[in-house]
Structure 1
Amino acid sequence: MNFNRLASAFSVCLALVALAGCGSSNELPRASVRGMVLLDGEPLPEGIIRFVPTGATKGPKSFAEIRVGMFKVDKQYGPIVGTHRIEIISTDDGGFPEDDEEAFKRMQEQGITKIDKITVPAAYNKRSQLTESVTPEGPNDFNFELSSNSKQKKN
């Protein structure tokens, strides 16, 4: 087999592999989501909301950043259509990351003995029983009212 035939055969194989990955009918349907997260009646300053498929819904988890209580994800990166367990965490570190030794030194120099940071109870993240159904036609507007005393409440 000469070099030209080998190169042509390789090009055809490469094109077939590329085409096989395009427009697959096995793509999972996704939807956009948005909403608000309140903790003790106030917007959660910063955090992450996760959509974890549950029950008959199969597929990857998805997440969105929470900024001043609001979250939004476009369809391209949104959760798959179906039922999801919702996990909400705060990413507030009180201005002093736990693994930052320089920040720890600054904290000691400033006489700070306690870091005030906002935490979301485990009842809303690791042990969350919050669920939502994401629909293809929407609107997928979800609002969550969380309480520091761990009682789950969804609005």
Structure 2
Amino acid sequence: MLYDIRQFAESSYLHLSISVGVFFFAGCGTGDGKPRVALEGRVTLNGKELPTGLVSLIPADSTGETAVAIIENGKSVIEREAGPTPGKYKVLVESKQPTGRKVRDADNPKAKVDEITEAVPVQYNAQSTLEIEVAPGSGQTFDLALEGGARSRMPRTRK
């Protein structure tokens, strides 16, 4: 299913804005005295490291602290200052990747643009079934080995 680039941009910018807002409003680096925990891990899809993306931890109840990690070359890291507090979290993973195909540009039907797909299956992002338990203490490792195929495709603008 193809999406208009504006929808893709709006959803990406919205998620990025929410992520940045979470860091500021969750007390990132403010010395809020909460028992935050550093996390790190590897993120793979069908045995291959995800090159880029986001891992979001959403508290299962209202007592936790939301945290977001950027995926770079299959690795995600959340420093203690921006980390979650101990508790149960829903895990959402996103990674938009080019498919290698060209498709018609929604704004200019005569032009072709790179096709983009959400590489992570819906059961790991919009309808995530992943959960983790963050324990008190020093840094912890959570490796996410995801399985499945692409969810949706959308065109992107040329650079």
Distance 1:92 1:63 in 2: 19
Q: Distance in 2 between matches of 1:91 and 1:32?
A: 25
TM (norm. structure 1) is 0.62
In structure 1, distance between residues paired with 2:71 and 2:129: 19
Query: What residue ranges of structure 1 are gaps of 5+ in the alignment?
Result: 1-21, 151-155
Post-superposition offset of 1:116: 5.0
Partner of 2:115: 115
Encode CA deviations 1:88-146: one digit per residue, 9 max, x unaligned.
Answer: 11143569xxxx99xx76xx65x55x615452111001211211111222441001111
Q: After superposition, give the CA deviation of every residue in 1:58-87 in whole Å (9 maximum; x if it has no partner).
A: 133110000111001110011111111111
SS at 1:59 equivalent: coil
Residue correspondences, number: 117
- Counterpart residue number, 2:20: none
Query: Contact conserved, 1:47 with 1:92, CA < 8 A, in 2?
Result: no
Q: Answer 1 or 2: which has greater strand percent.
A: 2
1:32/1:74 contact within 8 Å kept: yes
CA distance in 1, matches of 2:78, 2:87: 16
Amino acid in the other structure paired with 1:71: S
TM-score, length basis structure 2:
0.61
Verify the 8 A CA contact 2:87 2:134 in the aligned structure 1: yes
- Determine which structure has more spread, i.e. the larger CA radius of gyration: 1
Shift in alpha-carbon separation, 1:69–1:23, aligned structure 2, 3 A: closer
Counterpart position of 1:67: 72
Kindly indicate whether the alpha-carbon contact (under 8 Å) linking 2:120 and 2:149 is maintained by their aligned counterparts in 1: no
